[in-house]
């Protein structure tokens, strides 16, 4: 039971805006600027109204012999202080709209360079990722085929599905690690098979609920390589807090290398017929397999 006083009091002496985690997406800076704009407007309104409130409390405190001013108000004044905030607030709303449609609206999603599927899940609490494989095409989804071995319900009859790559948690308490390239438009098709989740990438200013029965498009463009956390922001059960995942943003080169490695790891499962190549494909991880 320790208590770090200076960290605990940071709210009192540090500027609120410094607490944002580093932004690493293209539209994230726009959202941060909007936040900052509203923040500065709020601080100004706060000081004006609090200044008036405190001044009035002091100036017009009860004093012997003072008599309050009998006054019911003035329509011109009412009119003014109705119109001023209307313009201010409507302005904030209209100004916000561009950033909103840019980050969320389907018609403004840019042409994706990379498309992946993401599922939130409740049994064990985490995220699953699907990449389209070397053919660049996802296998069709067939809801009847959803199972724990095939959470995305990839249609076993669809040839495009054979090479799809599914990334899951390596097990234990270890979070899933997904990789994506920087400076590319990434389109995420988001859903869930059980309850609501919310795909939250704090550093990318991305948040979108995952809704069972619905595939929702989310996009972002990461600007900086690194290792970022994925969180769940919608209550999904007692393990809600435990849905941590990792998103590794790589250069295109590193990303391609990672994908290659993953495909090689995967091959033996999907193509059992070609067993000789499959055995070789496992090689990077285990020298014993190589000898065989």
Partner 1 sequence: MQTAIAHAHDAHGNAAHGDHAHHHDVSFIRKYVFSTDHKVIAKQFMLASLLFLFVGGFFALLIRWQLAYPGEAIPLIGNILPDTWVSDGAVTANFYTQLLSLHGTVMIFYVIIPLAVGMFGNFCIPLMIGTDDMALPKLNMFSFWLVPPAGLILLSGFFFDSGAAAAGWTGYPPLGPSSGAGQTTWLISLFMIGFSSIMGATNYLATIVNKRAKGLQFFQMPLTVWALMITAILIILGTPVLAAAISMQLTDQYLHTSFFMPDNLLVGARDNSVLTGAFIQKGNELLEHKQLLGGGGQPILWQHLFWFYSHPAVYIMILPGMGIVSDVLATFARKPLYGYKAMIFAIMAIAFLGFVVWGHHMFQSGMNPLLGTTFMLSTIVIAVPSAIKIFNWLGTIWRGDIRFTAANLNALAFIATFIIGGLSGVFMASAPVDIYIHDTYFIVAHIHYVLFGGALFAIFAGIYYWFPKMYGKMLNESLGRKHFYWSFVFFNLTFYPMHILGVGGHMRRIYNPYIYEFLQQFQPMNQFITFAAIILGFSQLILIFNIFWSLKYGKAAPRNPWQANTLEWAAPAHPGHGNFDTDIQVYRGPYEFSVPSRTADFYPQWEEPQGQPEEVVAKDSHLRQHA
Q: Smallest gap, in angstroms, from Cβ of residue 256 to partner 1?
A: 27
Assess contact for 226 and 154: CB atoms under 8 A: no
Does the protein bind partner 1 through residue 8 (CB under 8 A)? yes
* CA 210/CA 129 separation, integer angstroms: 13
Nearer to partner 1, 101 or 277 (CB): 101
Contact map string, positions 73 to 112, toward partner 1, x by CB under 8 A: xx--xx--xx--xx--xx-xxx-xx-xxx-xxxx------
- Between residue 173 and residue 232, which ones bind partner 1 under the rule CB under 8 A? 193-196, 198, 200, 202-203, 205-209, 211-214, 216, 229, 231-232
| Residue nearer to partner 1 on the CB measure, 92 or 274 | 92
Task: Please give the backbone phi and psi of residue 273, each rounded to the nearest 5 degrees, phi first.
Answer: -60, -45
3-state secondary structure of 124: coil
Q: Cα-atom radius of gyration of the chain, to the nearest Å?
A: 27
- Nearer Cβ to partner 1 (57/273): 57
Given candidates 13, 67, 111, 253, which one binds partner 1 under the rule CB under 8 A?
67
Contact letters for partner 1, residues 120-159 (x by CB under 8 A): -xxx-------------------xx-xxx--x-x------
Question: Would you say 31 or 178 has its CB closer to partner 1?
Answer: 31
Instruction: Report angle CA 71, 73, 74 to the nearest 5 degrees.
Output: 130
Alpha-carbon 121 to chain mean position: 16
Using CB under 8 A, which residues numbered 20 to 39 contact partner 1?
A: 20-21, 30-31, 34-35, 38-39
Q: What is the 3-state secondary structure (H, E, C) of 196-256?
A: CEEEEEHHHCEEEEECCCCCEEEEEEECCCEEEEEEECCCCCCCHHHCCEEEEEECHHHHH
What is the SS3 assignment for 46? helix
Distance in Å, CB of 171 to partner 1, minimum? 14
Closest separation in Å from C-beta 159 to partner 1: 23
């Amino acid at each position: 039971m320790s208590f770090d006083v200076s960290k605990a009091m940071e709210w009192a002496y540090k500027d609120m805006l410094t607490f944002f985690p580093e932004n690493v997406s293209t539209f994230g800076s726009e959202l941060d600027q909007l936040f900052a704009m509203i923040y500065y407007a709020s601080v100004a309104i706060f000081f004006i109204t609090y200044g008036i409130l405190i001044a009035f409390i002091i100036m017009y405190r009860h004093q012997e012999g003072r008599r309050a001013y009998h006054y019911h108000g003035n329509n011109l004044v009412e009119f003014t202080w109705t119109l001023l905030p209307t313009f201010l607030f409507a302005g904030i709303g209209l100004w916000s709209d561009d950033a909103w449609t840019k980050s969320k609206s389907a018609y403004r999603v840019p042409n994706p360079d990379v498309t992946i599927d993401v599922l939130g899940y409740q049994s064990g609490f985490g995220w699953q990722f699907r990449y389209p494989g070397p053919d660049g095409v996802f296998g069709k989804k067939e809801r009847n085929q959803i199972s724990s071995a095939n959470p995305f319900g990839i249609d076993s009859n669809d040839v495009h599905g054979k090479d799809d790559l599914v990334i899951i948690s390596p097990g234990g308490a270890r979070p899933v690690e997904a990789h994506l390239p920087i400076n590319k438009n990434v389109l995420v098709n988001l859903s869930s098979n059980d309850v609501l989740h919310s795909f939250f990438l704090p550093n990318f200013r991305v948040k979108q609920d995952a809704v069972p029965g619905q595939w929702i498009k989310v996009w972002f463009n990461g600007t900086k390589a690194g290792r970022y956390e994925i969180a769940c922001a919608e209550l999904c059960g007692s393990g809600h807090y435990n849905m941590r995942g990792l998103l590794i943003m790589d250069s295109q080169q590193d990303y391609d290398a990672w994908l290659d490695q993953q495909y090689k790891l995967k091959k033996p499962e999907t193509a059992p017929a070609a067993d000789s190549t499959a055995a070789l494909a496992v090689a990077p991880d285990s020298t014993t397999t190589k000898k065989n």
